[in-house]
Structure 1
């Protein structure tokens, strides 16, 4: 039976990715549907209109603000 510690065997590549390296978007255009779904809302006409307004005001960074 092994007595090794689980944490002692962890390699550096097992560590979590730092927030500064993570990206929410892939460089593609953000659609109103993307924004609605990322916010956890249903695809309704009202929510799509909300997303269109938000994208008009904030641009694609609106998605970055919603996603963790």
Structure 2
């Protein structure tokens, strides 16, 4: 699977997913500090599932899985 790990996700989780053979792009590093809307756009453009601890992403009407704003 293809995941996009938000910068608040613990590194051991990212490492575990990669060890299991998943393609994980992490926001940490060069993308650190980008807004939620940008995280959403990257996930949609690259067909990735967002993994986050940020409760703002639970607003399904704002971040609908079938709608790129």
Does TM, scored on the shorter chain, surpass 0.5?
Answer: no
Q: What TM-score bracket applies, with the shorter chain setting the length?
A: under 0.3
Compare the two structures and name the one with the higher strand fraction. Answer: 2
TM-score relative to the length of structure 1: 0.28
Q: Which has the higher contact order (CA 8 A, sep 6+)?
A: 2
Is the radius of gyration larger for structure 1 or structure 2? 1
- Report the structure, 1 or 2, having the larger helix content: 1
